[in-house]
Amino acid sequence: MIGNPKWFTLRKYTGWGLTPITWQGWLYTALFVAPIAILESISVAQNFKTIFTTVWIIIFLADIFHIMTQLKKDEREHLHEAISDRNALWFMIFVLIGWVIFKQDLNPIFFIALIGATLVKAATNFYLRDK
């Protein structure tokens, strides 16, 4: 694609995604963000803004995903990533449960999130058990 994996490292402490580590990585990021910022600051038809922004973000995310798959990680990094993702998921689940209990809000999206997370976890465990 466009970006080079040598320009980035995986984020470990500030969320998910990539962090630029070279000037080329920062330039790459700026060149993807600049057209959206410029487009939002000028007067253009809203339909064009929406379509352009959507297509531009899809291209950017596809390239980021490609770069992330090309980065080399050792077994220890895979394990640390899995543990940190698991802990983040548990935090999100407890927040959702707390919201439902204390707000008495039975919004179905919370139950969909909780049931979906349970199903994904179960499917992952079945897949890993048989591997």
- Going from N- to C-terminal start, the domains of the chain cover 5-72, 76-130
Per residue in 22-70, pLDDT tens?
999 999 989 988 988 888 888 777 888 888 888 988 998 898 888 888 8
pTM confidence score: 0.59
Q: What is the mean pLDDT of residues 63-90?
A: 80
| pLDDT at 22 (0 to 100) | 92
Which range is most confident: 8-12, 27-31, 35-39, 91-95? 27-31
Contacts of 1 (CB under 8 A, 6+ apart): 62, 63, 66, 67
| pLDDT at 78 (0 to 100) | 73
The one-character DSSP state at 6 is G
